[in-house]
């Protein structure tokens, strides 16, 4: 049976754009960090959202529950097979279950209230859902439930539009397009959440999006399970051997950190010993952009994402991570006038709230607010190993492979494509590779640091 991979709980999407704009406007920001080009006019939306990770997708069996099926079952099976087949480009193989074989995914029609606690409602966004067994009440690992009170369209898609209005507007009750809805719900089964991008099949209202997964949709699946083509915006999690060669140890995170539009770093947000990745876009906030957190489990496997949260933290400033006197995680930035912008992350998960007034906190980068008055009492410490350096010269000095010898990573001048030639000077020799930037992050919490590289190109021994 198909099981969900271990994951941390997701949280509610929060923006607070208005409050953020007021906060940001109160203080003068320092100049942008050295080595970064000017910021883009608008920030980049995060390409995908991760709900969960399955144990594997090499072969997923599916079956149609014909009870209450409002259309011919043969037609329904043809549409289901074609819709699930849209995900084959991501390396997914959905196959009809044979008689007596365990079913990973059951698809069936249900009345509005059908016992799983997820009733259907008004509007096209409430006509279908996924639910995991045994909550589904079905003999399958996962189910897609469809509203049996609708007239389902099995022909060409009829796009729905949302007309501008100063009133709350719900989509008209039309004939939902079975193929498009199934492609969308299959994305949820694979672990993808809703995104606002117009070309994505994961838009909240399926008929407003495409019926074929976009490159970003496929990138989300590849980031969970592997595959895809290398791109400078990828983040690769590697182990490093004694010669300094980086070896990928997990699926590459596809398209998550375009350079120079996105800044990233690692930090243990929830105190479990494993470090998460934090990504922040540069430029003015746009729909679908903002602080995004990536959580991992086991051997550095992506399991969930949280966010994006727009407008609260600048992509132009270094991100300080610390703890306050109550043990809550603090995300902060040092402003040009010596004040700090500090936000509290209770339990290491979203949502964010303003740090408590009068509550001291201590962060990395040598920054601290020892009396909680909103001003930094100390600053100017070393760059955290989990925050990628962008300068030329020595960028890392650390015993990466645990052999007792300090390895040094030296970066050359940046090339036109944004990459630098990086050379490890270790005990047993020299190894070079090209990447845009790198950091040392304990992704799996085993005490051994992984090298996370953006735009990793290749390695060679000198």
Average pLDDT over residues 325-343: 94
pLDDT value of position 431:
77
For all residues of the chain together, what is the average pLDDT?
A: 85
- Between 436 and 429, the more confident residue is 436
Average pLDDT over residues 166-186: 74
CA distance 341 to 21: 12
pTM of the model: 0.88
- Between 14 and 348, the more confident residue is 348
pLDDT value of position 22:
30
pLDDT value of position 8:
38
Confidence band for 88, pLDDT divided at 50, 70 and 90: very high
Within 13 Å of residue 327, how many CA atoms lie on the same side as its CB? 3
CA distance 91 to 280: 29
Is the pLDDT at 141 greater than 80? The verdict is yes
- Between 169 and 264, the more confident residue is 264
Two tokens at 306? 């949280």
Confidence band for 9, pLDDT divided at 50, 70 and 90: very low
CA distance 322 to 311: 20
pLDDT value of position 119:
83
Provide, rounded to the nearest whole percent, the portion of the chain with pLDDT above 90: 63
Which of 168-172, 340-344, 367-371, 396-400 is predicted least confidently? 168-172
Q: What angle do CA 40, 46, 51 make, to 5 degrees?
A: 170
pLDDT (tens digit per residue) in 274-317: 999 999 999 988 899 999 999 999 889 999 999 999 988 999 99
Which of 58-67, 140-149, 200-209, 319-328 is predicted least confidently? 200-209
pLDDT value of position 101:
95
Is the pLDDT at 264 greater than 60? The verdict is yes
- DSSP bridge pairs for 339: 375
**SS (HEC) of 314-380:** CCCCCCEEEEECCCCEEEEEECCCCEEEEEEEHHHCCCCEECCCCCCEEECCCCEECCCCCECCECC
Confidence band for 112, pLDDT divided at 50, 70 and 90: confident
Confidence band for 446, pLDDT divided at 50, 70 and 90: very high
Two tokens at 392? 């030329």
Question: What is residue 33's DSSP assignment?
Answer: P
Two tokens at 293? 């957190």
Average pLDDT over residues 201-220: 87
CA distance 435 to 168: 47
Q: Is the domain covering 49-156+173-225 a CATH 3.40.50.720 domain?
A: no
Confidence band for 21, pLDDT divided at 50, 70 and 90: very low
Average pLDDT over residues 263-274: 97
Neighbour order of strands in the sheet with 430-435: 393-398, 407-411, 420-425, 430-435, 459-461
Average pLDDT over residues 64-70: 93
Is the pLDDT at 41 greater than 50? The verdict is yes
Confidence band for 244, pLDDT divided at 50, 70 and 90: confident
CA distance 356 to 343: 9
Which runs of E-coded beta strand occur in 89-217?
94-96, 105-110, 128-132, 142-147
- Between 246 and 262, the more confident residue is 262
pLDDT value of position 174:
62
All CATH 3.40.390.10 domain ranges of the chain, comma separated, are 49-156+173-225
Question: What is residue 65's DSSP assignment?
Answer: E
Which of 265-269, 318-322, 326-330, 397-401 is predicted least confidently? 397-401
pLDDT value of position 155:
77
């Amino acid at each position: 049976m198909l099981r969900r991979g271990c994951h941390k709980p997701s949280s509610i999407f929060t923006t607070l754009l208005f409050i953020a704009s007021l906060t940001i406007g109160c203080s003068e920001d320092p100049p942008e960090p050295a080595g970064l080009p000017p910021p883009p006019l608008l920030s980049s939306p995060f390409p995908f959202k991760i709900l969960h990770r399955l144990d594997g997708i090499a072969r997923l069996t599916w079956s149609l529950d014909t009870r209450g099926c409002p259309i011919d079952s043969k037609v329904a099976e043809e549409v289901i097979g074609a819709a699930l087949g849209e995900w084959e480009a991501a390396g997914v193989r959905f196959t009809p279950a044979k008689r007596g074989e365990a079913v990973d995914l059951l698809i069936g029609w249900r009345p509005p209230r059908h016992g799983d606690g997820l009733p259907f409602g008004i509007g096209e966004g409430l006509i279908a859902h996924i639910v995991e067994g045994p909550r589904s009440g079905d003999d399958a690992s996962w189910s897609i439930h469809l509203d049996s009170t609708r007239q389902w369209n099995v022909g060409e898609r009829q796009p729905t539009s949302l007309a501008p209005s100063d009133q709350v507007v719900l989509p008209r009750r039309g004939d939902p397009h079975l193929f498009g809805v199934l492609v969308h719900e299959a994305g949820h089964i694979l672990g993808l959440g809703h995104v606002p991008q117009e070309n994505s099949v994961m838009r909240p209202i399926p008929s407003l999006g495409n019926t074929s997964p976009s490159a970003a949709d496929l990138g989300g699946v590849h980031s969970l399970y592997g595959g895809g083509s290398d791109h400078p915006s990828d983040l690769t999690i590697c182990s490093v051997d004694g010669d300094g060669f980086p070896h990928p140890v997990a699926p590459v995170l596809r398209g998550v950190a375009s350079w120079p539009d996105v800044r990233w770093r690692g930090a243990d947000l929830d105190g479990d010993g494993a470090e998460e990745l934090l990504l922040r876009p540069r430029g003015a906030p746009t729909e679908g952009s903002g602080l995004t957190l990536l959580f991992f489990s086991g051997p550095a496997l992506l399991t969930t994402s949280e966010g994006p949260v727009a407008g609260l933290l600048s992509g132009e400033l270094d991100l300080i991570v610390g703890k306050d006197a109550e043990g809550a995680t603090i995300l902060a930035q040092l402003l040009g006038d010596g004040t700090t912008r500090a936000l509290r992350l209770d339990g290491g998960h979203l949502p964010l709230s303003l740090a408590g007034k009068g509550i001291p906190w201590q962060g990395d980068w040598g920054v601290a607010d020892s009396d909680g008055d909103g001003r930094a009492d100390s600053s100017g410490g070393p760059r955290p190993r989990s925050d990628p350096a962008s300068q030329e010269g020595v960028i890392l000095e650390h015993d990466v492979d645990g052999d007792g010898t300090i390895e040094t990573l030296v970066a050359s001048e940046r090339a036109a494509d944004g990459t630098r030639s990086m050379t490890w000077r270790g005990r047993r020799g020299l190894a070079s590779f090209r990447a845009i930037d790198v950091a040392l992050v304990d992704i799996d919490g085993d005490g051994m640091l992984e090298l996370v590289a953006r735009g990793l190109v290749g390695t060679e021994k000198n």
